[in-house]
Amino acid sequence: MLFFEDLGKKEYEETWKYQKKLFDEIIQKKVNNISSQKAGYFLFVEHPHVYTIGKNGKRDKHLLVSSDFLEKIDATCYQTDRGGDITYHGPGQLIGYPILNMDYFFTDIHKYLRLLEEVIIHFLWKNYGIKGERKKGKTGVWFHNHVKNGKSRKICAIGIRMSRWVTMHGFALNVNTDLRYFDYIIPCGIYDQEVTSLKKELKKNDISFQEVKLMVKKSFQEIFDVEFIPMSKKLDQ
């Protein structure tokens, strides 16, 4: 069973604590050899303006503005326990947080990252006929066609934490995101890239966020071969 919950719009710190609670719950049952039918959880959320920095991130080098400026643009910043460098989350961006017990899937972190990428690649191609691609040596999903000035365009960032084969954190897909907020950082610490959104690539005024959620859910189910159960039906097992 994989429980699904759409958290709607929620502050980053509150969501991080909630993720950690679910993450720790799975780990404790594993440590205590308590059997469970749960494969884990999958959360959707949309955050207010926030910058998050992974364990390998360099705030002094990759965050380009001061704390005072962050306050002016109504943004916060957190050092987190995920992998990767700095990224931005905000309105119009779909965040997916899979909190999975990988014993129910496979115990291979690189395969897991590639499948998270595949979820987004599958979603883009199946629903919009646009080709998302990987970038050698990097994690995430890009567009490489019609590259300007040698810069590929990143549409989805991925950063995870994994301990005892339990995952947390996940992916950030730019749908109707205000891309100006990426101007204040070196996204993921990569200098030779641009950031894009589904709205920008499709040249539309707005993309239905609810429709994107449904389509990404379907792609996740297909790529990971799982069925979702609403969190309202969660069993204590």
For residue 104, what is the domain's CATH number? 3.30.930.10
Number of domains within the chain? 1
- Give me the domain span that covers residue 137: 2-233
Distance between alpha carbon 48 and the CA centroid of its chain, in Å?
15
Q: Is residue 114 within 8 Å of residue 155, measured between CB atoms?
A: no
Q: Is residue 140 within 8 Å of residue 158, measured between CB atoms?
A: yes
Q: Is residue 84 within 8 Å of residue 56, measured between CB atoms?
A: yes
Q: Is the pTM of this model over 0.75?
A: yes
Coil/strand/helix, residue 127? helix
Q: Which residues are part of the catalytic machinery?
A: 188
Give dist(CA 87, CA 77) in Å, integer: 10
- What per-residue confidence (pLDDT) applies to 149? 62
Q: Is residue 83 within 8 Å of residue 161, measured between CB atoms?
A: yes
Helices 209-224 and 109-128 pack at an angle, to 10 degrees, of 130
In the numeric block, which tokens belong to residue 153? 């365009």
Render pLDDT for 129-157 as a digit per residue (tens, 0 to 9).
999 999 989 999 999 866 656 678 999 99
237, pLDDT greater than 70:
no
Render pLDDT for 204-224 as a digit per residue (tens, 0 to 9).
989 999 999 999 999 999 999
In the numeric block, which tokens belong to residue 197? 């959104």
